Structure 1
Amino acid sequence: MFVRQTYDNEQQLIFSLGLKATREKFQFTTKHSNKNCYEEYCEIENCSWRLYAKRLDPTDEFEIGTFNNSLHIHPNHKHANKKVMGPILHEIMRKTRSKVWRPNEILRDLNALMEINVDYKQAWRAKQYAMELLLGSSEECFSKLPIYFHNSKRRNPGMVAYIQTDPEDYFECCFYVIGSTIRAFKRFCRKVIIMDGAHSKGNHIACSSYGWEQPDTSPCTQNMKKSGLTWIWFLEKLYECVGDCQELTFVTDRADVIREWCNKRRIEGGKPSTVLTEWAKKVVSKNEEHTTRWSVSGVSDAIYQVHDFKHGGIVDMRQETCTCKYWEGTGLPCGHVIMVLKHLKKTNFGHQALDAYTMERYRSTYEEPV
């Protein structure tokens, strides 16, 4: 760098200065930076290093007007950031596309090449920036999915591809299967489908792929966990591909989770408890808390009116109904029913819940081994 040297724009000047600072082991502080001028000082007090550049109107070019290159040396570099290290890595990675670059290798190579101390985080960010320069951003890649699927369908007869977006039209998940794979699976393959997740590292994570015996078919979901909606959506699209298949068997990684779920509840069911399960008991207790200062008036032998300072409720104990519909809808006694039971001097509210919420049913559900 020298006085009267010009650069195409301010970004090129900043990159060149950052690269120089990294190589020569010094650090600088920005004093002025706007569309017309750019001024830097060495961050060490009393150091005379200084650079001043201005824009050559009416172009975007910047010319160095003042440059004092006397400086102090720094062993570590805050300017060894992704925008300085990334382009260097980009050139190296472009020539060796087959190699998988790991941050530890980048850290080692940059330390040897530039003779600087780069930490793991700097190396990781530099790699991500270099990959973006090499392959484009994640957003650009996802925006090209419709074009990619369209062209793939033209070259692969029978290919199935779907893209699902959220209400704001942002990418949510996609499903695709090559046509030849569908035909081969129906005609020649054992009817076993293995479903598993393959998680990526990057801005767009939780990417899942599903393989039929071998992971050569890759419907995938992005930014979605293994929720019920994801599984339902995937299986609906899968059904469109394979149709009715009586011998079809699914293999997933959920077997251990299901087994653990059942074992845990079998142990819980063996503990001494009240009539209701722990969860149902908490719901009923919460409903009871709301009945403070409520009042009850009898309408007939089995019908009661509960005053709750809002809409109130009429409870029919014989028909097991309440005008608030909570009792019928959930199978658990609402606050109005609980208030009637209190009025009748009954303290066990669990008997008014559905049998499905009782500990007896809970134990029976998980009594068989999995």
Structure 2
Amino acid sequence: MIEVRPNGGMTYALRYKDEYGRQRQLKIGNAADITFAEARKEAQRVKGRVSVGKNPAEERKVARTIPTLNELAARYLEFAKADKKSHDIDERYLRLHLLPRFGKLHLNQLRQEEIVEWLNGKVKAGYAQATVNRWQVILSHMMRLAKQWGVPGAETNPLTGIRQKDPNNRVERYLSPAETQRLKQAVDESPNRMLKYIVALLLLTGCRKRELLDAKWDEVDLDRKVWRIPTSKTGKPRHVPLSDDAIGVLRSIPRIADGTYIVPNPMTGKPFRSIFNSWNSARRAARVPDVRIHDLRHSAASNLVNSGHSLYVVAKVLGHAQTRTTERYAHLDNGVLLNAVNAAAQITGTTWAD
């Protein structure tokens, strides 16, 4: 049918009966925008959907309720704040990368090929594959949650079946004794007066950066020489043994503000959100610009292995559920390896060299 209004405007529409026998009317388009032939073709397509039990008017009504990715992200971040420790990282990646590209699209407009092409393009532009993988994980997780929540348009996850690419980022970097000494001098001279305690404890305990920055004094028992981390990366509490050196560092930390946190920001008394700037300055001053904060954990594991401890012991100290994870950190100093092969050669009591 065509509806003609007193002002001369005309609209093509289709009248049909839904699955309950009720009469419905669906607008096809304005006559000024589409031709009669185009309107007739669309009407035939809609009638085809009606004949198989669909209700185009209801489908269009539902389509109007499908949120944009911007709207879903707002709901997701509220959920993540209460459910995920790294919600601040998700917020930053969404705000700076995902939403500027896809935020205005409705969920049913997200296309797998467009997302994959964009992700691949970011790697070519110089972003680390591990970082791009994180963006993929966040977007896919948001769509899975949206489906669980019954959000219209989230029935299909555009990233289903798309495997993450291998980041190939397992850089093995450990501090040598000389580098450790230079780093100690650099952090001692840092304007950030908490940095020297942070770096020392990371090296002496092998803990993760965020575990230490959020640590509280009431979680540490100096008499029993143990630090209880209430929620580790695995989601379970774990106990970190404290060496005499670690105890000495803890006792030397000045108490500030209300004394809740072990290494707080002196300006706020709260945990540091980031220590990158002061750390970056210190590592450059120590002539180790490639050493990352997480490499201090690598070095702690390496020191444990090189002092003769088994991977099982190292795994317990680091909080790994499996020793397979620990093997990545188990760097053995070349001197230790030489001693091992020399000892093995002496077992038979036979000299092979002339």
- Structure number with the higher helix fraction is 2
**TM superposition score normalised by structure 2:** 0.23
With CA pairs under 8 Å and 6+ residues apart, which has the higher RCO, 1 or 2? 2
Tell which structure's C-alpha radius of gyration is larger. 1
**TM superposition score normalised by structure 1:** 0.22
- Structure number with the higher strand fraction is 1
